[in-house]
Amino acid sequence: MRSVVSLLVVALIAVFAYKVWFSQMQASGGGATPQQTISIVGVKNDLIGIAEAERTYQAEHGSYASLDELVSSGALTIPKTERDGYTYEAETSDNGFRIVAHCPTSTSPGCQDLAVDQTMEVQTVH
C-alpha cells in the first residue's frame, strides 16, 4: 500500500511539473513554429558572434566599431547583417556596445527585438 501511495505522489509531482513547464513555454513564445525557432536561435548566435567581434576589435583598436567597420577589419566574418528578416544594428560608445536585432514584425507578428552588450547576454528588448 505504501508503494502505491508513493508512486501516486511521484506521478502527481511529475504532472504538476509538466503543467508548469508547459505554461512557461507558451508564455515565453515556446509556441513558435519550428522555422521561427530556428531563426531565433540563428539570430542569437549571430548576436553572440557580433559581440565577440566587437570585443576583438576593441582589444586591437581601443574602441568599438560599426558593423561595416567590423566586417572591413576582418573581425566579423558573418556574410550579411540580417537573417530571416531580422536586421542588425550596432550602437557603440566609449564604454561599451549594444548590438540589436530588429525583428520583422510585418512577417512575424508578435516577435520581439533582441540585443546583446559587453556582458554577452542576449536579452529581449522591451
pLDDT for 37 equals 82
Query: What does DSSP assign to residue 95?
Result: S
Q: Are residues 97 and 120 in the same domain?
A: yes
Question: Which range of residues forms the domain containing residue 68?
Answer: 33-124
Mean pLDDT of the chain: 84
pLDDT at 106: 77
pLDDT (0 to 100) of residue 85:
85
Domain count, the chain: 2
Question: Comparing C-alpha atoms, which of 119, 36, 122 is closest to residue 83?
Answer: 36
Q: Could you say which DSSP state residue 23 is in?
A: H
Answer yes or no: do 23 and 46 share one domain. no
On whether the pTM is more than 0.75, the answer is: no
pLDDT tens for residues 88-111?
Answer: 999 999 999 999 999 887 777 778
Span 9-31, mean pLDDT? 67
Looking at the structure, do residues 46 and 86 belong to the same domain, yes or no? yes
What residues contact 123, with CB distance under 8 A and at least 6 apart?
A: 114, 115, 116
Q: Which helix (H) or strand (E) holds 123?
A: strand 123-124
86 in Cβ contact with 44 (< 8 Å): no
